[in-house]
Amino acid sequence: MTKKILYCATVDYHFKAFHLPYMKWFKEQGWDVDVAAAGNINLPYTDNQYNIPIERSPFSKLNIEAYKQLKKVMSKNKYSIIHCHTPLGGVLTRLAAKQTRKQGTKVIYTAHGFHFCKGAPLINWLIYYPIEKYLSRYTDSLITINQEDYNIATKHRFKAERTEQIHGVGVDTVRYKPIDENKRTELKKSFGYHADDFLLFYAAEFNKNKNQQFLLRSLALLKEKVPNAKLLLAGEGALLEDCQQLANTLGISHMVDFLGFRKDIDQLLPMCDIAVASSYREGLPVNVMEAMACGLPVVAVDNRGHRELVQNNKTGWLLADWEPLAFANKIIALSSAVNMKGQLGQNGRNAIISKYSINKVLAEKEIIYRSYMEEEGEPVWAAH
């Protein structure tokens, strides 16, 4: 009997962006791979896709229907493993899987960054902490992607059968890689920039957490000393227009390019000079890892995910507070320190290759998966 795994998340794009290598791996092991999430994009390495109306808001009534649909999918298909992701995807999936877990299904949950963490608002601890701790008892393997989350789960005695840490979702270090100076100049010109433009890059949804306004205020403070600086902001979101207006107010609209949603980040990053990151909260940010894989030094504000990746004076700089002038000064320093910029970037790429490449993360996840694939004793339904 062919064994099956079900991947669950809030939206199906999550799998396209982060999990295709691991779904492919299961297909290579002869398993059926199903996906349950909101959306109907065409996913490879998938046998069945279930469009489940999961909403990001925990208060949406649609989530009641999503819970019921998930239970039906699980009851019908008899999965050996269910692997869930994203906060609401993780909540609904583990609740829906309570019965099938009693029959032998193993439930894995990857926390891509707890909403409660050091420095998080008190309301996050009051809402999300008790939910995650309660649901951990219905979790066979709780996977964290940074040290702080792992410490919280173990220190606070979450009830998952096992708690493990891996190095994120993995970065394709072949696709994301540095290029030589001639190629950089060609790429800059092809995208409409001058060879001597000093390009800063940040890819993120425009929302309160990602805090693009901070980058704009920092840019305004360096425009006199680095007049050839340009900030490239890729992404969409609710605060996009607010940021465009702020750029106008600060008199830097000519120095900012709002790129919208992009599928060519692997082309944009290598031509840039540094990556910047301003968010309040991160799990283990893919945008920073991709930039480091391309050999870019990183200037970021200190948070849980950034401090996992960025080492001061080795791969870039971490600023202790959201102080625009201090942030601007680090960018100014890098703009004239070509050798330092190159060395920081090379160190960053080496760090990504050694710990965070897709192959490294796949090896970590394979150990977890195989521990359930090869356990003695079949689920009670597997013999039928």
Query: Which pair of tokens denotes residue 263?
Result: 């599928």
Quick one: pLDDT at residue 53? 93
Can you give the pLDDT of all 384 residues of the chain as single tens digits?
A: 789 999 999 999 999 999 999 999 999 999 999 999 999 999 999 999 999 999 887 778 889 999 999 999 999 999 999 999 998 999 999 999 999 999 999 999 999 999 887 777 888 889 889 999 999 999 999 999 999 999 999 999 999 999 999 999 999 999 999 999 999 999 999 999 999 999 999 999 999 999 999 999 999 999 999 999 999 999 999 999 999 999 999 999 999 999 999 999 999 999 999 999 999 999 999 999 999 999 999 999 999 999 999 999 999 999 998 899 999 999 999 998 989 999 999 999 999 999 999 999 999 999 999 999 975 444 433 433
What backbone phi and psi angles, to 5 degrees, belong to 287?
-60, -35
Task: Report how far residue 103's alpha carbon sits from residue 101's, in angstroms, rounded to the nearest whole number.
Answer: 5
Instruction: Give the residue from 116, 130, 120, 59 showing the smallest Cα distance to 88.
Output: 59
Quick one: pLDDT at residue 374? 73
Which pTM does this prediction carry? 0.90
Query: Which pair of tokens denotes residue 207?
Result: 């929302």
Amino acid in the structure at residue 142: L
Percent composition of the chain: helix, strand, coil (DSSP 3-state, to 5)? 45, 20, 35
Quick one: pLDDT at residue 380? 39
Quick one: pLDDT at residue 48? 97
Residue 191 CB neighbour total at 10 angstroms: 16
For residue 93, the surrounding DSSP H or E stretch is helix 87-96
Quick one: pLDDT at residue 377? 44
Residue 180 CB neighbour total at 10 angstroms: 9
Which positions ≥6 away from 275 have C-beta within 8 Å?
A: 200, 201, 202, 269, 287, 288, 291, 292, 296, 297, 298, 299, 300, 316
